């Protein structure tokens, strides 16, 4: 049973690190207009 806990914790930590990495990449590629004081809303999507 203790082996299952170790595997579960390892998977949890890997998922957490992956989530943090994805968030850093997404925030670093976000235009400054969205994060700045001049935020006017999200861009409108065109419907087809």
pLDDT value at residue 14: 98
Quote the longest CA-to-CA distance of the chain. 55
Tokens of 40: 């006017």
Please state, in angstroms and as integers, the Cα–Cα distance from residue 26 to each residue in 6, 30, 35, following that order.
30, 6, 12
pLDDT tens digits for range 1-45:
688 999 999 999 999 999 999 999 988 887 665 556 666 666 666
Q: Identify the CA nearest to 11 among candidates 3, 34, 36.
A: 3
Helix (H) or strand (E) holding 28: helix 2-28
Tokens 């957490």 belong to residue: 16
pTM > 0.75: yes or no: no
pLDDT value at residue 7: 95
């Amino acid at each position: 049973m203790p082996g299952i806990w170790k595997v579960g914790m390892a998977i949890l930590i890997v998922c957490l690190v992956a989530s943090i990495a994805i968030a850093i990449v997404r925030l670093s590629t976000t235009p400054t207009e969205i994060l700045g004081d001049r935020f006017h809303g999200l861009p409108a999507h065109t419907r087809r």
